[in-house]
Amino acid sequence: MATVEAAAATSAASPVSGGAAEACGLPDFSSATYKDAYSRINAIVIEGEQEAHDNYIAIGTLIPEQADELTKLARMELKHMKGFTACANNLGVVADMPFAKSFFAPLHDNFQKALAEGKVTTCLLIQAILIEAFAISAYHIYIPVADPFARKITEGVVKDEYTHLNYGQEWLKANLDNVREELEQANRDNLPLVRKMLEQVAGDAAVLQMDKEDLMADFLSSYQEALIEIGFTGREIARMAAAALVG
């Protein structure tokens, strides 16, 4: 499992340019290269939080008795989105939203298809497990190399994302007997998309001193822990994780 310490050690070893930031082994947040990469990474985060908001509201239409709880989760996502928008403003960066929309499109389309078919399990796997685990890993790896303003905001956000992951986990656990098959298919269809998203973002993440392998390891760790909690065996989880390699 990638740890915050490991990420910090990676960043400390990376050469950077810039004054005070360099002294701490952090990137030069004011450089054009940093800002360029940040315009896409920050946009992905903003779009991700917006998608999360919309997805929880949508899931509430499939499980009306949970709509109030899901609306609470959705509100938290909007708060996150505002926080990350402030992070871009703080650095004088304009988020590249068209890029972020195309980045999320395959996962977005799969969610919309599942929603139209009333597939609660697939919707929860995509949003509450995959997207939340993806967000948690990205925020974990980002925190040690973030600028002080963004670090504080991200630390607050990551705690909320665990609440959301936990929500999906508990619902799927309670319904596992009925949802197992759909869950495995949804995993097969969507885990490869998450792997591709991680690969697509790796270059920009590296500019922010976020290591691709750390991101992958942290994501798989959160994902695996969620699947254990839901009730899958080690062997079943290994099979499910293998879908990322063949998809």
Q: Which amino acid is at 100?
A: A
Give the nearer residue to Fe ion in terms of CB position, either 120 or 157.
157
Q: Which amino acid is at 46?
A: I
Give the nearer residue to Fe ion in terms of CB position, either 47 or 161.
161
DSSP-derived secondary structure letter, 107? H
Q: Give, as ranges, the residues between 152 and 171 that touch Fe ion (CB under 5 A).
A: 161, 164
SS3 94: coil
Count, residues near Fe ion per rule CB under 5 A: 6
In this structure, what token pair is assigned to residue 24? 């701490």
Q: Give, as ranges, the residues between 29 and 68 that touch Fe ion (CB under 5 A).
A: 49, 52
Give the nearer residue to Fe ion in terms of CB position, either 12 or 63.
63
- Under rule CB under 5 A, residue 140 binds Fe ion: no
DSSP-derived secondary structure letter, 145? G
Token pair 């996502």: residue: 77
List all residues 6 or more positions away from 146 whose beta carbon is below 8 Å from its beta carbon.
154
Distance of closest approach, residue 28 Cβ to Fe ion, in angstroms: 28
SS3 232: coil
Give me the half-sphere count of Cα atoms (radius 13 Å) on the Cβ side of residue 110.
22
Question: Which position among 40, 80, 119, 140 is part of the footprint of Fe ion (CB under 5 A)?
Answer: 80
Task: Kindly indicate which of the ranges 21-29, 80-88, 210-218, 231-239 contains the residues binding Fe ion, using the contact rule CB under 5 A.
Answer: 80-88
Site of interaction with Fe ion (CB under 5 A): 49, 52, 77, 80, 161, 164
